[in-house]
Structures are given as C-alpha cells and as structure tokens.
Structure 1
Amino acid sequence: MSGTYSSTLLHRFLHWEQVQPDAIYLTESAPDGQTVDYTWREVGNQARRMAAWLRAQAMPPHSAIAIAGKNSAHWVIADLAIWLAGHVSVPLYPGTSAETARYILEHCDVRLIFVGKHDDTAEGWGSLRDAMRARAPLIVLPMSPVLPEAASWQTVVAQHPPMQDIVLPPPGDLATIIYTSGSTGQPKGVMHSFGAMYAYAVESGAFCGFGTTDRVLSYLPLAHTAERSFVEANSLCHGFRVFFNEGLATFAQDLQRARPTVFISMPRLWTRFCQSVMGRLPASQHALVHTASPEGEALRKHILAMLGLDATRLAFTGSAPLSEEITQWYRALGLELLDVYGMTENFSYSHYSRPGQVRAGYSGQAMPGVECRIADNGEILMKSPTMMLGYYRQPELTAQSKSEDGFFRTGDCGELDELGRLKITGRVKELFKTSKGKYVAPAPIENLLSHPKVESVCVTGAGYPQPFVLMLLSAVAREELLETRSREALRLQIKALLDDTNARLENHEKLAFVVIVKEPWTADNGCLTPTMKMRRRVIEERYMPLATKWAERGDPVVFEDE
C-alpha cells in the first residue's frame, strides 16, 4: 500500500534544504554545556560529504549500515547519509547487550557501524564495543566515546566534497531494518520502505497540523519506531525544529529550552512528571489545580511552564493505559492527553485519540487508510499504508504474521466501542492458567491497580490457586518505606487498593496478595524494554521462585525486604 505515496523523506529533506537552508533544524548540547545548532544547509552539507565517502567504499547497493548510540543531531545526519548513498540503516539501542548486537549485526550482514553517544563507563559498554568492532569498521559520531580503532566523522567529512549526483529511491525500496526489542527470544528485523515512512509522516502530520514553526524534544530512543516516526520522519517531512535531550539529569532543562509545541511521552513518565510536581507543591495547593479561580489558573500556568509544556498544543501518550487520576490532572492543566496505538510493524501508525473524543482506557479511532477488525479469539487484525515489507530473512514468520486475507496479526487482544475506539485488553500469549484450570488475562487486572504511589504492576500466578501481584512503588513512595509509620500507612493503602480491585473481579481472577518489590524495574536490569515496556518473562523468572514462601505467609500485602 505504500506505493500510493509517490514521494520519500529524502525528497522532503532536499526540499527543505533548498527553501529554508538557514533555518535551524537540529539543536543539542555540547559536552561543555554550550548549545549547538545545525541549519538545514549544514545538515545537508555533512550528510552529502559522508554519503560521498560511503559511495566510495564500493559496498554493494542497499548494504546494511548500523547506527548505534543515543539520540543526537548526527544520528539523524548519519541516517540521511546512509540513504543518500543508497544503503539501508539499521538502528541499535545504546543499551543493546553484546549478545543481541552480535545477532543483529550478523543477521543483516552489517558492513559499517556509526557509533554515537554511549555511557562509555557503563557496565557492558566494553563487551558491546568488542562485538561491534569484531563485525565491521566503525565511525564515531561527534560527542561519542573515543575509539582509537575507529575513523572519526569529522575527519571523513573534511576529506570529501559534498555529493551532488543524488539518486533518489523509489517509495517501494527498503529504507531501514528495525529490530524489535522483544520481550522473549531473538529480535525480529522489521523491514520498512521509504514509502511507508513517508506515508506515516503525511498522515500523522495532517493529524497534528505540523508546520515549520513547530518544535519537538527528542528523548525516547531513535532506534524505536515511536521516536523514529514522531521525531525523524515528521521533522524531515514537515520541516520543523528538533531539540535533543542530553540525559536524565538535564531533562527538565532541555524540555524548558525546547518548549515543544507537540509532545509525546509514556504513561510511566507522565506519572513521574505529575508525582514530581505534586511532591514539590505544598499540600494546600494540590486541590487548587482543579479550582476555577484566578489563583488556580495562575498555578496551572506555573506548572506547565515549570514542566516546559506551556507551549504544547498537542500531547500524546501510548504503550500502556494511563490512570484516570493522572489523565484528569493533566486535563485540569489544559493538556488533553491523546492515547495512541501503534507498533514496530506498522511504523507506529494505527489508532489515535481525537481531541474531545478521548475515552479512558481506549486508544482512539483508526487513522486514515487503516482497516481494523477483531478476530474470533479477540486478536486485533489490521491493514495499514505503513505496514512493513516483512521480517528480514524470515519469510515463514512473515507469512504467519498475516491472515488469509492479508490482515496483520498484531498479537494484541482488543475490543472496539460504538465510535470505533480501540481498547487493548492484553496480549494473546499472556494468558496464564491457575492450578484450578482457569485462564487469567493479566493486562485488564493491571489496569485496575492504579494508585498515585504505584509505578508499575505485574499480575502473575501460573500454577497457583489464585493470581497475585508484583508491585513497584514510585520513587517517592519507596523513600517512605524507610520510616516505620509511613510503611504501615502504605500497607493499609495498598490493602485497600487490593480489596477494591478484587471487588471488581470474577472469582477466578481475585488476587491472593500483593508483593511490594524492593528493586526498581529498569532497562538496565532487563525488567523493561528500552522503550520502558514491561518484560513479563524476565520479571516472573526473577520473582516466581519466592512465590510459594509469600503465599504461605497468608498476608494480603507482603514487602519483599521483610
């Protein structure tokens, strides 16, 4: 279906290079704290010079070239250079393990690797570096770790004139292979065409009303389709400015500098933003946020400015449901969070909530060109103008991913309401059976366990009489556990949450107990994907050996550290 879109993001980039060469395209911070701007002219100059060098290497057409590193201006410029030279880009997450990197680099026969910003002192960097240099030549991007064995971007571009004889790709050509982070097994290489990426940007841009005066902040991994589509594809198509976040320590500062007009985040981060603000406000002002008064209005403006979201006209959330309490808090501030649904295989283009039609727990209606239906087993099936070409070198898996009439099997379960809004009710493969022979779907139960002091939950219990909950508290609540009185107060609050949830469940779904886990779930310890989705298998393997002991205690709320 991508063939119906006759242009590509490269065509659009050349357009902006011509019509607004001196407008700032990319903005980031240098190591010394100074702000560095790159105009469309400068981005084009560097991309063309690197493309000239790439073409001189006489690699086979459409060779796979990897980009491994954190988000940066040169991540995007490297991607452009790869495309201009007629090759295919393969992003790697900066926190990719050496084992996964070796698999990806070998699976798609990577010929060259651009190495971007990394935490070069972090555990695992050394083995990842060894895995990369054992596979292919390295080129380090500016502001990246020093690698004596690698060529530097600056040296290469200084030695080659900008490429002028550009051959633009047809929309159907392969542009990128995006390896899914995956919750189990080896990642799959999702192939996307230039046409699919352009189709996303055209339709997403129409929905958002993007123009050259818009601003976005890039902070989610560009190796994932959510950021690749929202930031890179949209900016190349619509010519707006991109700011880059340096890291967690500078996030608030970078957000205030960018003052994005359109912003996307995940439920975990939206919750953290809210908890951080409320934790800094006196208790007397908490209710004032929802008050229709001059004082309330002033406070709401102050909070949005403090967050750096005072210029935001559209705000999105996705990947998991957001609690009604958090949603209402942002709505009181004047931000109606629009829930969206998409996946790697359709380049994050499927369902968007429409302003004024948001329904709690639903991801909105199908976008233009998207066909969606629910199979007899509850699985969401769809067609999209942004659908992948297939899984790289896995034709059997590609065939299995489609129904007989060509609809993609998402693996998600869902339901549609009377307005066509989609609700995700879980994963087809996440159902587990208790020792009583009853099947339990964890996701709908997890959605009920919403509380201001709860960061994440995992409902599990395969082989046990009743399911139970592994619960991670927010950072603020974890601090409260250090004081005995606060700990007991929290125990009572979680017990009340458990009772309230069980009152809404079928008998076979009722939760036997809650375990308050001790250690945070992060991407570093494998409990979350790089995009902060829960890795259920990893979490269950970590805690299930202790489940019998917890069950035998008979307590409704169990603290792991007790």
Structure 2
Amino acid sequence: MTPTAAPHADTLALQRLYHWERHSPGKRVFVQPYGPGDVRHWTWGEALIETRRMAAHLQSLGLPPGSRIALISKNCAHWLMADWAIWMAGHVSVPLYPTLTGTSVRELLAHSGASLLFVGKLDDWASIEPGIPDELPCIAFPLAPEGAKRRFSGWDAACAAQGPLAGTPTRAADELATIIYTSGTTGMAKGVMHAFGNFAAATAAVLARVPFHPGDRLLSYLPLSHIVERTFLEHTLLATGYEVYFAESLDTFIADLQRARPTRFASVPRLYLKFQQGVLAKVPAAKLDRLLKLPVIGWLVKRRVLKGLGLDQCICAGGGAAPMPPAMLEWYKRLGLEILEAYGMTENCGVTHTNVKGHQQIGTVGPPYPGAEVRLDPSTQEVQVRCAWNMQGYYRDEAATTAAFTDDGFLKTGDKGAIAADGALKITGRVKDAFKTSKAKYVEPGPIEEKLSALPLFEACCVAGASLPQPVGLVMLGDAARAKAATAAGKAEIEAMLAKHLDAVNATLDSYLHLDALIVVGEEWTVDNGLITPTMKVKRAGIDATYGPHFERWLASGAKLVWAERVVAETPKAAQAA
C-alpha cells in the first residue's frame, strides 16, 4: 500500500465548517448540559455565529499569524467553537488535559509559547490556577469555575463586543493546525504537530473503514485534548455533520449516555469494565448466562441491559488505548454489542488499525486502515507505520523528531507486534517495557498482563519485578470487588478466586515467567497520584517507583497473595508534581 494522496481542499476543517453553515444552518449540532435539569442546544448556524464572533475577537488582539492559543477544559460545546475560532483567526490550537497539575500547565504553556489561554469546565481549578501566569491573557468559557470567571474576561462578553468575522478564511493543507502534547507515560510530554491536511487524510481513511452518517449521535467525553477525540469526533463531525452530546460529570455519566443514546460509542477498557462490573453487581454472572440462553427472554434481557447503559441504539462501538480482555469482548458480544478494538498514536492521528464490524478478530487490533503502510522491524518486532497523516514532527525538538522516524519515513511506534497473514496486528508489548529479573531473565510484561486482566475483578493490573527473582502481579480491584472484600466472608471468596486465577495464569507461562505473587494494591491508580495517564494507561515508571521499595517486605513471608497497605499519600496534585 502507498500513502493516500493529498486531501482535496473541500475536505479541510474550515471548508467543512462553511459547508454546514451554508447547507444545514438549522440542523442541531450540540447538546450541552448546563447543570441539573438545564440543557442548551446549538444549531450549526448558531455555533458558527459564536465561532465567527470569537474569531473576530482573536483577530482584534493583533497576534502574529500562527500564534499558539491554548485550551484547558473538559469537553463542552465551547471547546470546539474555540478550536474553530482559533483556526479561523489564523492561529494554532494547543489543547491541555484538564487533569494536569499547575506545574505541568505552566511548563506546557511556556514550551508552546502560548499567547492566550481559554479556560473552561474544570474539576480542580485550585490546583490548575497557580500554573497560569498572571501576564497571560485568558478567556473563560461560560461553564468555567467561578474563580476563573472572576479572574478572566468571559466568552459571552468577548463575543458580544464583536460582529461575526466575515468571509470564508481558509488554511492550507500544509499549515499547522494544532500541537497535541502526549500524555507522557515516560517522562516529559512532547508536542506533536499536525497540519490540516493530516486530519483530512486521516479522516478520509477512517470514513473508508467506519462510515459515519449525518443522523448519527455521539457522546463527547473522552478528552478533546487527546488525539482520538480530535480525529474520531471533531473531524468526523466536520466531515459528516452529525449531532454531538456532552457529558455533565462522572456522577451523571449514565444519565448523559441515556440522554444521547449514541449510535456510535468509543471508550477505554477501564470504562467498559466498570459497566460490566455494574451489571454483574445487579445480576450475578451465572444468572445472566442462564437468562441470555432463553430465546425470547434472552433478547429482552440484552435490550434491557444495553438500554440501562444508554447503548441500546449503538450500532458501532470501539475500544483502544490498552488491550481489552478477550473474555470481556465476548461478554459484550453476547449482549449484542460488538466492541471493535483499534490502534493508533498521537503521532499518526490515532489512525493505524481497527477491527471491522462483522469481522472482529478478538485479540488483535485488526488490519491497517486504507493508506497505512505497516511493517515490523526485523530485529525488535517494533511496529512501524508510514502514511499521509503521520505528524509533521515534535514541536521545538528536532532531535526527537529525527529519532521518531526511520530513514525511509516510517514512524517508530515503540510498540512490539505480530502481523497475521491477513494483515491483522496483535500488539505484544512495548519495545522498552521488558525488564530483567535477578536471575538475568528478560520478562515481557504485556502478554502476562493480558492473561491477568481476564479476571473481571480487576480494574487494572501491572507486571513488575525488575531485580526480583520472579516477576509479580500488581492488581487494582474494581469498585464491586473492593466493597465485597470489606467483609470477612467476601474477602475469603475473593482470595480463593485470586489464588485460582494465579495458578491458571502461571500454568500457561514458562517457569521463569511465573508470577511469584499477586499484590492487591491498597489505593486506586489515578491521574492525580501519577500512576496512570489521562487516557488510563498505566505509568510503569510510577508503579515501579511507588511499589518497588516495598516488594522485599511484602514478599518476605512467601505468601502468594498480598493485601498491600496504602502507600500513596493523598496529597494535592500541585504538591505531587513539585
């Protein structure tokens, strides 16, 4: 395969905006919760009026063309309108994760050279505010924290002071559209540069494999600061003009899903697992299995479960960011929801591989998208990709950019894989994740973690043990399992399940890979305590640093199951980052 050709001008982001403004001004595009019982709607025409007014305001500031303008907010309608206004005004958007510490915010604002910052919906304004320099101009969205609205000028006031920007200003395919900072599993985040043409080419590849339609409904809740939501929501929205709903909060998430009843839905494995655990907490697995086997009742049960989750209208579901346990995929498939695992990186717009509806290959991320050329490095088995939507490079880091590509233009993903005869890719680990035990044996944690994660009790797991005689498994129980373990009888039942699962996993492994013990961690792994990224990937360096000093003590008794005490202090994010 060869990379796709340069995109047509009418597929670029701003041209698509003008298309919907001209042809569907009365079609609803956004549904935004504004608090309990309050929901606001925008049509394309209404959204473009606000976008044009904000673009006019940005132009009135006299910033040099191509200035970097940052956004920090949870997903909301104003996030997308601000992004479009930044582009319309001739500038570059720099999205920041709304879960960052103040220290990280300050670092990324400085690194990007941001000239202005949009501040929106945030859960922890107190820790973020110190990271915003006093001299940096800021604009607060209507849903920003009250403290931000008191400190900064407001979106509505800025729009009211300007007439809509006239005309149809456009941007060339090779112009820089955005700088997306990676979530940073291994140190300082890098700023990935994508041009407008990158997104157009990537979107064309997505639509060739996963067609979206104007009548679709999607719920936007995966961070818009992440590449998946930018490509698979923002740019497919611009391409096809469907309707986007937003989530209010974690507490209202199921209600938000039920309001949207999305026709397409994507998530990380951790959320699908939480859904599954929630269902099984109400209907025990054995009982659900019996009900699903009954001809008529089984169909009714499937519909009821999916409707309770807000997914009864979903015709296409996707998963990614981490491997999904095959048993969980099979469980959802029995309910009538086929979750298609996909694969990609920030550096290639998140568009590399995906399973195909009706032809799901569980255990793989499917074949490559049209236009993506994929190969394995013969010595390391690293997955390498060449396509028209690979990044322009890392912002202000020529050395890292050069190191990211082979001499013939393939992006080095850092992931190890295996490719089947039909092109389906199985991710087998990270090139740099392997560690050596004290017996001088190398351990690839990824395949062992895939086996561990098959037990629905776990919300997350990690295999560690550099310099130990044998590797160990660190596991974080899900909410239901933690609640059950609070009683003596429940804890005994869980211990029996864990012991059986450990034996079953070890039976499939060579002796030097046998897990010496399962360590049930005493705290939840969160973005705040630095043990996972905003996209729910485990930070191995953080796990090693946090738990490594305790391994010798925990394992001294020779027990195969260790209930570890809490070792992560509940400190403010700003203090943790210092």
Partner residue, 1:71: 75
TM-superposition CA deviations, 1:458-486 (whole Å, max 9, x none): 10000011101111111100111111122
Code of the aligned partner of 1:494: L
Matching of residue 427 in structure 1 with residue 418 in structure 2: no
| Alpha carbons 2:95, 2:180 under 8 Å: kept | yes
Matching of residue 222 in structure 1 with residue 251 in structure 2: no
TM-superposition CA deviations, 1:409-450 (whole Å, max 9, x none): 000111101211101111111110001111101011000112
| Alpha carbons 2:104, 2:131 under 8 Å: kept | no
Q: CA deviation at 1:32?
A: 4.3
Partner residue, 1:496: 500
Partner residue, 2:34: 30
- Written as runs of structure 1 = structure 2, the 5 A alignment for 1:341-490 is 341-376=343-378, 377-449=380-452, 450-490=454-494
RMSD value, Cα: 1.4
Partners of 1:2 and 1:179 in 2: CA distance: 25
Partners of 2:464 and 2:225 in 1: CA distance: 30
Q: CA deviation at 1:499?
A: 0.8
- Written as runs of structure 1 = structure 2, the 5 A alignment for 1:509-524 is 509-524=513-528
| Alpha carbons 2:106, 2:133 under 8 Å: kept | no
Partners of 1:79 and 1:506 in 2: CA distance: 51
Which SS does the other structure have where 1:36 is aligned? strand
Code of the aligned partner of 2:353: H
Q: More displaced, 24-33 or 473-482? A: 24-33
| Alpha carbons 1:289, 1:333 under 8 Å: kept | no
Code of the aligned partner of 2:144: S
Partners of 1:284 and 1:557 in 2: CA distance: 26
Q: Using a 3 Å threshold, how does the CA distance of structure 1 residues 521 and 127 change in structure 2: closer, same or farther?
A: closer
| Alpha carbons 2:4, 2:371 under 8 Å: kept | no
Partners of 2:176 and 2:8 in 1: CA distance: 15
Q: More displaced, 26-35 or 346-355? A: 26-35
Which SS does the other structure have where 2:51 is aligned? helix
Which SS does the other structure have where 2:134 is aligned? helix
Q: Using a 3 Å threshold, how does the CA distance of structure 1 residues 471 and 135 change in structure 2: closer, same or farther?
A: farther
Code of the aligned partner of 1:425: T
Q: CA deviation at 1:5?
A: 0.5
| Alpha carbons 1:2, 1:196 under 8 Å: kept | no
Q: CA deviation at 1:246?
A: 0.7
Code of the aligned partner of 2:293: T
Partners of 1:288 and 1:296 in 2: CA distance: 8
| Alpha carbons 2:345, 2:351 under 8 Å: kept | yes
Partners of 2:297 and 2:510 in 1: CA distance: 45
Q: TM-score, normalised by structure 2?
A: 0.94
Partner residue, 1:506: 510
Partner residue, 1:136: 136
Partners of 2:526 and 2:343 in 1: CA distance: 23
Which SS does the other structure have where 1:249 is aligned? coil
Q: More displaced, 252-261 or 518-527? A: 518-527
Which SS does the other structure have where 2:115 is aligned? strand
Code of the aligned partner of 1:556: K
Q: More displaced, 70-79 or 158-167? A: 158-167
Q: Using a 3 Å threshold, how does the CA distance of structure 1 residues 274 and 455 change in structure 2: closer, same or farther?
A: same
Partners of 2:291 and 2:342 in 1: CA distance: 26
Q: CA deviation at 1:289?
A: 4.9
Q: TM-score, normalised by structure 1?
A: 0.97
TM-superposition CA deviations, 1:489-522 (whole Å, max 9, x none): 2111111111111111112111111101111111
Partners of 2:269 and 2:131 in 1: CA distance: 34
Partner residue, 1:179: 181
- Written as runs of structure 1 = structure 2, the 5 A alignment for 1:299-378 is 299-376=301-378, 377-378=380-381
Q: CA deviation at 1:101?
A: 1.1
| Alpha carbons 1:215, 1:260 under 8 Å: kept | yes
| Alpha carbons 1:3, 1:171 under 8 Å: kept | no
Partners of 2:25 and 2:168 in 1: CA distance: 18
Partner residue, 2:571: none
Q: CA deviation at 1:292?
A: 4.6
Partners of 2:498 and 2:127 in 1: CA distance: 42
Matching of residue 526 in structure 1 with residue 530 in structure 2: yes
Partner residue, 1:276: 278
Structure 2 runs not aligned, ≥5 long: 567-578
- Written as runs of structure 1 = structure 2, the 5 A alignment for 1:76-87 is 76-87=80-91
Which SS does the other structure have where 1:470 is aligned? strand
Partner residue, 2:54: 50
Partner residue, 1:199: 201
Q: CA deviation at 1:288?
A: 3.4
In the TM superposition, structure 1's runs of 4+ consecutive aligned residues that sit over 4 Å from their partners are: none
Partners of 2:511 and 2:258 in 1: CA distance: 49
| Alpha carbons 2:527, 2:534 under 8 Å: kept | yes
